[in-house]
Amino acid sequence: MTRGRIRAKLRRSHLYTFSCLRPNTADGEEPSAVQGSRVIHCNQPELHQKKPLKYCSNFISTTKYNVVTFLPKAIFEQFRRVANLYFLLAAVLSLTPISPFSPVSMIAPLAFVVGLSMAKEALEDSRRFVQDMKVNLRKVGVHKGNGVFGYRPWHKIRVGDVLKVEKDQFFPADLLLLSSSYEDGICYVETMNLDGETNLKVKRCLEVTLSLDDDESFKEYTGIIRCEDPNPSLYTFVGNLEYDRQVFPLDPSQILLRDSKLRNTAFVYGVVIFTGHDSKVMQNATKSPSKRSTIEKKMDYIIYILFTLLVLISLISSIGFAVKTKYQVPDWWYLQPENPDGVFNPKKPSLSGFYHLITALILYGYLIPISLYVSIEVVKVLQATFINQDIHMYDEETANPAQARTSNLNEELGQVDTILSDKTGTLTCNQMDFLKCSIAGRGYGVRSSEVEVAAVKQMAIQEEEEEVDLSNFPMQRDSRHVSWENVKRASEIELETVITSNDEIDHKHTIKGFSFEDSRLMYGNWFKDPNADVHLLFFRILAICHTAIPEHNEATGGFTYEAESPDEGAFLVAAREFGFEFCKRTQSSVFVRERYPNSGQPVEREYKILNVLDFTSKRKRMSVIMQDEEGQILLLCKGADSIIFDRLSKNGKMYEEVTTKHLNEYGEAGLRTLALAYRKLEESQYATWNNEFQKAKISIGGDRDTMLERISDMMERELILVGATAVEDKLQKGVPQCIDKLAQAGLKIWVLTGDKMETAINIGFACSLLRQGMKQICITTMNADTLVKDGKEGVKENILNQITNASQMIKLEKDPHAAFALIIDGKTLGYVLDDNMKHQFLALAVDCASVICCRVSPKQKAQVTRLVKEGTGKTTLAIGDGANDVGMIQEADIGVGISGVEGMQAVMASDFSIAQFRFLERLLVVHGHWCYKRIAQMVCYFFYKNIAFGLTLFYFEAFAAFSGQSIYDDWYMLLFNVLLTSLPVISLGVFEQDVSSEVCLQFPALYQQGPKNLFFNWYRILGWMGNGLYSSLIIFFLNIIIFYDQAFRAGGETADMEAVGTTMFTCIIWAVNCQIALTMSHFTWIQHLLVWGSIVTWYLFLLLYGMMSPLISGNAYQILVEVLGPAPIYWAATLLVTVTCNLPYLAHISFQRCFNPMDHHVIQEIKYYKKDIEDQHMWTRERSKARQETKIGFTARVEAKIRQLRGRLQKKQSVTYAAS
């Protein structure tokens, strides 16, 4: 504790030049006017209990329903399904005397279907509620009066409350920082949940509130804050604090946002400004949407078609019945009812026809299958279970399996066109590793980056294929092999640093943040280099040029570093491993323990820190002016190479050319690079500059930052280049391979991140979303001067011109292999997402191979997702792991949450959750592909069998004077969808596989069957409906022809209605079950049991039903044993009708497989004849074809490399031929 307080007394404000400067209003600067009506009485929350000062509570809810809205909203969701509306109408009509069925038989199935779906919705939403309550019930210290603080749940916090937030706690609301454990009011905040950035932000309080540094000081504290109204802007804040009879302006550097975390600071005090849904993070949130899959939406249109057909045949029946009633019933004296009513009254045929219309609408309801929705629900739940149980998507480190949090969207996984991904925590591990460096023109570091290793592996896999492809070159046969050997040798030379013995290195002890390995530099061997003085300076820049704080680790005896960014932490770890350990920081000095090879013990040196010119995204560099023990003043600088190189002196460019080469190599390897330089300063030179710098630093006015930047820029000139660093932002395991496979599957990938543009670009290279040779299109706003000059319209016009020019450039590009990457920042997106420009932007983005959006807010992530979803009309998937990704996840057609280290907000808002990004490959390419085909085939088959069955009822009506008489027994009709045909179709939806999971991953192009909707387009849907129509005609009329005037029994009797109806129903059961057997590609014992078991069940039912009393079985008494079983015509008719029904489908699939096979047909045949084992060349060739042409991913990078090598080879051959 003592050590913590000593450390807390360090005044850090002198470290920061541009950020967090204390506004000095005491000298007369007027606070700015505040646009907004919000008034907060600090430390007086009771004043905010009545309007107009009553603000929303701190209770948050991300659920779709609540206790009041559940019933109406959930019922509305269910009756958005058109079929459910029809069955609701039918259920109401079943209460009338004109219904052909009992009310229970109509109401019970509907109540079961709707109730089951609503229960499922309630269960899924309850999980969100539980997570919300976990957040709402977190505790935080609140001032209760008289200087006493006590813990209170988050949801009871009110506007105006003074809170005490401790280290590593989340902020429960948007707060104004009043003071911190540090003497000068500095605190460190991690905003990972807001913008995805892992580097810490520095916040500081106003000087006037510094004295409020303990509990007792709030006993009498009051003040008034007047500020802006709630808004979603994370990076702006306008307000004034009225305190101690003065008014002080507030800005974002004093605001602590909800869901950010306090780091490296013992505690802070703050007053609540925005609570609950008024907070900026919640303003960025979007409401939980109701999502429906594409197939489900299309099912509505099919229901419309079937409903139209239902109405049509019902009208025909009612007209026919009216005609029969008027003209023929009077002659049928034996059918006259004793008391004619409206249903059957020859004197009122129109009324009779109308009543019959209602009867027919209910009778022919089998055309619209209510059991379809129940079956789909069951199938989707079982599919979700298989996803949850997939061992290949189980993460052993975190013990997290994949989880289908909603089963409504399983098939949508197979139709994704665009993936929108967060970066930090999703693609990367938030861990920087020092990997390579260049010092005095020499490159060091023999370990390979993940990008290099994976690229070499990919080239090795493709080597054999390329050898075959190179045989197509027009060259002599005997020279071909030699030429290819030359190509391989050339590639080996270029990738010399990649092909190293990583296996020999990996067994060594790994150090977090340090993956460097090179004996020339380690263990003091750098001292032997001729440029040892440059190496010494390089290490000192790493150890001194930063703003980190060391903390002694008592367990290890070493130091850990609390740095603003992971890069700085990696540099300090590297400096320590090289023998330059940063061990202490005081108010004005940095202490480094330097170990030299010729001395046994380390020497602790003190370096006085004179000035720190800190890093900003605009400056892209950081400098420290320090004085060593000999009195020499040096400026040490690190920054982007483009910035540093422009500031080099003539004498400082000695290593520029070779360092540039190294930087390009590091960039190609996906590493983040910085250049290091220095400048020697004379005391008089420094004193003159420092005077100007201090004047600018304490100046008042809006141009202070501009003055500081100009004066800093004057000093950061005439630099001498020392070298460069390369750190690896560790990607999550398998990310590059996953992206490569998804790209081969034809998916487009966008990255939406809150990180800086440079960071996002580096990760783009690491993931192979970007590569060398890819043309980058950067859409940015103009500089501040132009912005002020031309105004908003001028900026918009400039951005539009950039988009237009970029689109034109892409159209004019003639190289078929040219690839474009679009990079845009959040500020520019604010203009681009305007209605006038967003469609042009989207058109440009779609033409680019990859899109990276940087510095985007959570709301912008959601807006971009909506633009892609609505603009392209295709399925989008959003994946992220933080609270800042919730809006994007909810807006996309499918939201995938990563159960990582950033809390559970993203997971709770998601439709599916996985532990690592790499599992997305299997989730989409395997489960998505399977689920799409299963549901599509299942739905098509469902409509087929119900049309085949339902239309036979209509045909019989024509033979029965449209009387409403059914040819089938009521029990037959009840069991048709419930038992006799439901289980085989469920087995199709759960177990069907066109190819195995391994083949799905080997042939990623198969996935495109989903986005292209090959199995649920109108051609296929109408084809299945036509098949149902054909089957119904065959089943009815072929049976009628067979039984019409044929002797049925040994005594010469003809068949009655019960015999004909039962035979027809037998034919239906056989036909539809044989049809589903022909449809299946993959059989398990379960499918055999359910398909053939359904047929056996029909005969068992017929046998048992016939054995019951005639009071129950009616005309079906002993029908199988005594009537149908002994009659050969029954068995012959069943066989003939079944074969005739299925013959056209068999002919169709046979013709298709022979003359126009689909991709999976070819693979099935190869696997069936085991050609994948016997003919490896053919299998490899087919695999290389089964990739969508892509310009991103490792495959695209390797192919670009191979094209380059081929070009060299052809050039060499042409030179050889010319010489000969």
Active site residues: 422
Task: Report the 10 Å Cβ neighbour count for 940.
Answer: 22
Residues 857, 233 contacting (CB under 8 angstroms): yes
H or E segment to which residue 606 belongs: strand 603-613
CA distance 457 to 451: 10
H or E segment to which residue 190 belongs: strand 186-190
CA distance 396 to 353: 68
CA distance 523 to 578: 7
Q: What is the torsional sign of CA 191, 851, 733, 1204? A: negative
> Residue type for 750, please?
W
CA distance 225 to 1057: 87
CA distances from 320 to 316, 359, 954, 1032 (A): 6, 13, 12, 21
> Residue type for 458, please?
Q
CA distance 465 to 1182: 11
H or E segment to which residue 869 belongs: helix 858-872
CA distance 1180 to 1168: 17
Sorted by sequence, the CB contacts under 8 Å of residue 457 that are 6+ apart come out as none
Nearest residue to 415 via CA among 744, 743, 864, 747:
747
**Per residue, what are the HEC states of 797-851?**
HHHHHHHHHHHHHHHHCCCCCCCEEEEEEHHHHHHHCCCCCHHHHHHHHHHCCEE
CA distance 990 to 935: 9
How far is residue 767 CA from its own chain's centroid? 16
- In this structure, what token pair is assigned to residue 1116? 């079906």
Strand runs labelled E in 614-658: 621-627, 633-639
CA distances from 544 to 17, 548, 635, 721, 765 (A): 17, 9, 11, 17, 29
CA distance 595 to 1099: 91
CA distance 767 to 451: 7
CA distance 1079 to 1076: 5
Phi, psi of 128 (to 5 degrees): -65, -40
Residues 750, 422 contacting (CB under 8 angstroms): no
Query: Environment class of residue 507 by beta-carbon count within 10 Å: exposed (0-12), middle (13-18) or buried (19+)?
Result: exposed
Query: What single DSSP character describes residue 527?
Result: G
Residues 852, 748 contacting (CB under 8 angstroms): no
Query: What single DSSP character describes residue 1123?
Result: I
Q: Would strands 261-263 and 255-256 be described as parallel, antiparallel, or unpaired?
A: unpaired
Q: What is the torsional sign of CA 355, 360, 363, 365? A: negative
Place of tokens 């020279």: 479
CA distance 645 to 803: 30
| Angular region, 388: left φ>0, alpha ψ -120 to 50, beta rest | alpha
CA distance 541 to 559: 18
- In this structure, what token pair is assigned to residue 1125? 């079983």
